[in-house]
Chains A and B, each alone.
Chain A
Amino acid sequence: MHVLLIEDDRRTADFIVRGLKEHGHVADHAVTGADGLYLATTRTYDALVVDRMVPEIDGLTVVKTLRASANRVPVLFLTTMASIDDRVEGLEGGGDDYLVKPFAFAELLARLGALARRPPMSDIKTTLEAADLKIDLLKREVSRAGRRIELQPQEFKLLEYMLRNKGRVVTRTMLLENVWDFHFDPQTSVVETHVSRLRAKIDRGFDRELIETVRGAGYRIRNEKTA
């Protein structure tokens, strides 16, 4: 993955660039919004990581300018936790996802993965599958190895989100935001409990566990090819 990082804080930038390289990605780094905008318009990237507060041209303006010129590159905004209103503004301004500093690197990586391989809007699937697990989004039906499995609505939503990100890590925060629309950190184990119930329903009685826990990061639905 070729990523452009627009970030003026040296330590944060080093942390991100080093992490991306360790995971086999290529990262370009711009310190100002103006440099970032120049790079984003002259080269092709798989994703942009943009800090909201960068000198010369602020991050939001950079992304708005790109969107105005029909550039659809996926954008992940970074912001300090001081402003919760920023998220709505950022997403309305053309950002695809939002991450509040400080964050775990695994969180950034998982979100970038989800963004960069997000299917185009026209490519709407009505069925999703992994190994012998199939779900029908229209009939709201789930089956594994031909056997019907009954899921609660939120369990279905959880499974759907994980299947859409099949083979990639999804973090606890990503699940909270996308499945429950919770933009805060619950004090109880909402995610863990639902995941374990889902596991009980789709993995119990089968040889292979499809939902895998990735230590220190989140969960992953095993892709059939990696099995």
Chain B
Amino acid sequence: MKRLLRTASFRLAAAYAGVTLIAFLTLFATAYLITTRALDRQIRFGIEAEYQSLASAAGSGATPELVAEISKRVRLPAGTSFFYFLSDANGHRLTGNLNDHRPMDGWQTIPLSEVSGETNLASPNDDHRLTALGGHLSDNSFLLVGDDSYRLYDAQEGIMESFALASGLVLALSILPGMIMGQSFLRRIDSINTASQAIVKGRLKERIPIAGKGDELDELSHNLNRMLDSNQSLMESLRQVSSSIAHDLRTPLSRLRQYLEDVRLFAGGPGELQSAIDQAIAESDTLLSTFSALLRISQVESKSRRSGFKTVYLSGLFEKIAEAYAPVIEEAGKTLRSRIAAGASLTGDEELLTQMLANLVENAIKHTPTGAAIILTLEENSSLLVGCVADSGPGIPEPERKRVFERFYRLDRSRTTPGSGLGLSLVAAVADLHGIAVTLEDNRPGLRAVLQFPRHRFSVS
């Protein structure tokens, strides 16, 4: 219950009820004041008229005619008559249906219980008050005419009662739905909490149930589930990366250790010592370059480089790569053909785009046999900008084409080729940073890496 009272929907309903109540109270106060005043004026008007008629009829004071007239009026049916009191100049009561009364001029309010003498009261009630007008007549006798103001009180009471009823109804109508909404809200929050706790406890596959109402809570649950999905896949790749690092770095480290042990046990002369040390340095350089490749990938993935994006002349970049690698490809007994569209540019990081393209070309060089052809192209197809590095080598079997982008993933036949297994991971990271779609396709024979540059980020001058 205490929790329910703290729910947002209940609080909202309560606040709403409060505001409605204040509006009601204002309305009530106004109605109360206006009604009271009108009734009061009406009562006094009646009393005044009665007093005037008696006083003018009396003419010369408390005459026996006046006494008789008042006595007659007193005998009218209960509830329809006014209250009267007439005393002579010495203050002795002459007639009327009120007990002794101190002669006092003007308007006065008297508790009825103090003054009621005769029993023709409408309803003898202690609370009844008499609104009365008193005044001395010409012979110094005293006449008081009054009326029970119960009608006023009745009206006031009626207003009060209807207000109490209405405000009770308003409160109930505004708070109850709030409580019901709060209750169902709480149930759904509870289900989110239960799922979260299960995930915290390690049941990572757990997901938050969706009620299917398509409301904000469903949207929230859906977004949370998507976040959990991406976290799970991130954790998965993190786990895979750490075990790969451990595995892949063991080999060069053990080789390094072996060189050092070798040189310690068997080094014959300064020459051998020198070459063993050179080998050890080369091995540690390999290790270091693996580390810096890993760091570079994670940095690219953090997307912080986006802030430094500038216009990159893509055609020039392709030309530069073609020119830089042409001799390398030729020396390896392979051929390079390039067809590069002029005038293409892209918003991006030139350094990273250079490395991305270089990695793809180097892959083509490393994984093809002598005599292979490598083709580098950049072209516009119906306003699309597409880059392509194709080779006539053995290609990559279909099921592995996605996996080669994972860190350290290497095809079995490439295990002996030098390389860290990180080149394509960097390509994927750089492509992702720039919104470039990179796919590996069958070149029949060979592999074709296709880079589809985003439309909105390039301009052809």
Contact = CB atoms under 8 A, between A and B. Distances in A.
Interface of A: 81-85, 88, 100, 102, 152-154, 180-190, 193-194, 197, 216
B291 A190 contact: no
Contacts of B358: 182, 184, 186
Interface centre among A81, A153, A184 (most CB of B within 10 A): A184
B296 A84 contact: yes
A190 B321 CA distance: 10
Interface string B338-376: 000000000000110011001000100110000000000
26 contacts: A81-B288, A82-B295, A84-B295, A85-B299, A85-B305, A85-B308, A88-B308, A100-B292, A153-B323, A180-B320, A181-B350, A181-B351, A183-B355, A184-B351, A184-B355, A185-B289, A185-B292, A186-B358, A186-B362, A187-B366, A187-B419, A188-B328, A188-B362, A188-B365, A189-B328, A216-B278
A204 B278 CA distance: 31
Contacts of B423: 187
Contacts of B351: 181, 183-184
Contacts of A152: 323
Contacts of B355: 182-184
A84 B299 CA distance: 8
Given A153-B323, A186-B358, A193 B299 contact: no
Interface of B: 278, 288-289, 291-292, 295-296, 299, 304-305, 308, 320, 323-325, 327-328, 331, 350-351, 354-355, 358, 362, 365-366, 418-419, 423
Contact of A190 (B288, B289, B328, B366): B328
Contact of B331 (A154, A181, A183, A193): A193
A148 to B, nearest CB: 21
Given A181-B350, A189-B328, 7 more contacts: A81-B291, A82-B295, A180-B324, A182-B355, A183-B355, A188-B325, A193-B328
Nearest to A87: B351
A9 B206 CA distance: 48
Contacts of B320: 180-181
The 5 residue pairs across chains A and B that have the minimum distance between CB atoms: A193-B327, A81-B292, A184-B355, A193-B328, A187-B362
A27 B305 CA distance: 36
A5 to B, nearest CB: 22
A81 B295 contact: yes
A82 B328 CA distance: 30
B355 to A, nearest CB: 5
Contacts of A181: 320, 350-351, 354
A99 to B, nearest CB: 13
Nearest to B361: A188
